[in-house]
A and B are shown apart, each in its own frame.
Chain A
Amino acid sequence: MTSPNAETEALLIAKAQTGDRDSFGELVRCHHSGVVNVVYRMCGDVELAEDAAQDAFIQAWLHLPSFRPGTSLRNWIYRIAVNAALDVLRRDPKTPLLDLETLSTPDSSAGPETVLLEKERAFAVQRAILSLSEANRSVLTLREYGGLSYQEIAATLNIPLGTVMSRLNYARDRLKELLASQLMDTEIANG
């Protein structure tokens, strides 16, 4: 679902702050897919990501009265989501145990061999992301999957802009090393 315009969102926030659950539900609808995308990349597991997303929205609900109107709700929720994902990972040390079976592929009509290859790529990508430190992963996830600008990431994670850039550079360099063979396949496929 796309984000509502600023005025509508401000109205929903104001209502939700006074305890209106329906308005909060509307806000959740708007930010659900973004949050899920971010927490999944942080956790690397669908079930844990669902838990983290739920925790994040519950935390957002509980702390909404202290949310300052005029600031970005998306950044605020993403910050809570990143923290919720990290909490879930700490709470459940069994992760990150990636399972090929749980990874889906974009094209379900493809042949079994292609499906397996796609799953292996998805597995490699997720494993590479999970191998990054929490700090670097948070920045990469917010940029790649949250679509936040550098300035927004800096504000969301409370770090300087220069740190955002250096962490992102480091994370991408590291991913390029870890995913070298997959990148080669992509480049070959793209001609």
Chain B
Amino acid sequence: MVKHITPWLNAYLDGELSAAQLRQVEKHLAECDECQAELEQMRSLSALLHETAPTEDFLSTERFVSNLTLNLPRRPEHSQPRKALEIGWWLILVGALAVWLFFQITFSLSSVVLNISETGLLGNGLPWLQGDSSQTRWFSLAMDLFGGQLGFTGKLILSAFNDLSLFIRDMTSRFILQALFATLYLGWLASWWRRLSDHASPASAVPQS
């Protein structure tokens, strides 16, 4: 049974086939009367569509241009609010980075001060810094209740668990903070990208069928 090439005929007529497809279609057309008739009909349709162009009823290009130039509205100059928006987008990024830097510096400085304080170099001048920050609440409670009964190994194990808890707590809070900043930053990046795409396309979009 002969396989017709009807679906390719439009692309053939429009000159949209690749060289290989073109050869294939031309070979088939040379042998198939049915596809040839179909192609002729499509050519007739194209001729019919172009037969009647009412160009003489339209304003001449010169008159159209003159009328249009007179009617062209004032283009809204890259208005102030828009400029403010442009600056605002950059300020959001700069602001986010500044906040992130502030937190990083604060954390780092407080760690340094705490470490120094723990070595005793600062004397007893900063007792509020030391407080219970190196002890979790459960550790303090456990030590109060069973501290006297526990031996050295027990205290060491409990202390290791306390350090682990502190580590996890610090890591979690830092991770949440980093994730928050990453989300904010990526959100900003996505909005910026979308805004750029909107800029590049004309007013409205053609509806899909």
Q: A residues engaging B (CB < 8 A)?
A: 1, 19, 21, 24-25, 28-29, 32-33, 36-37, 40, 46, 49-50, 53-54, 57-66, 68, 71, 76, 79-80, 82-83, 86-87, 102-106, 118, 121-122, 125-126, 129, 133-136, 138, 143-145, 149-150, 157-159, 165, 167-169, 172, 175-176, 179, 182-183, 186-187, 190
| Among A46, A59, A62, A118, residue most surrounded by chain B Cβ atoms (within 10 Å) | A62
Q: 13 new A-B pairs (CB below 8 Å) besides A54-B68, A83-B203, A83-B206?
A: A40-B58, A54-B71, A59-B203, A76-B202, A104-B52, A125-B52, A134-B206, A134-B209, A167-B209, A172-B42, A175-B49, A183-B45, A186-B44
Q: Are A58 and B44 in contact (CB under 8 A)?
A: no
Compute how far the CA of A19 lies from the CA of B73 in the bound complex, rounded to whole angstroms: 11
Neighbouring A residues of B67 by C-beta, 8 Å:
54
Neighbouring B residues of A179 by C-beta, 8 Å:
45, 48
Compute how far the CA of A157 lies from the CA of B206 in the bound complex, rounded to whole angstroms: 6
Compute how far the CA of A124 lies from the CA of B157 in the bound complex, rounded to whole angstroms: 93
Q: Are B57 and A21 in contact (CB under 8 A)?
A: no
A-B contact count (CB 8 A): 155
Neighbouring A residues of B206 by C-beta, 8 Å:
79, 82-83, 86, 134-135, 138, 157-159
How many residues on the B side are at the interface (Cβ–Cβ under 8 A)? 48
A71 vs chain B, min Cβ distance (A): 8
- 11 of the cross-chain contacts (CB-CB < 8 Å) are A21-B69, A29-B62, A37-B53, A54-B71, A59-B203, A62-B75, A103-B54, A104-B56, A129-B49, A176-B41, A179-B45
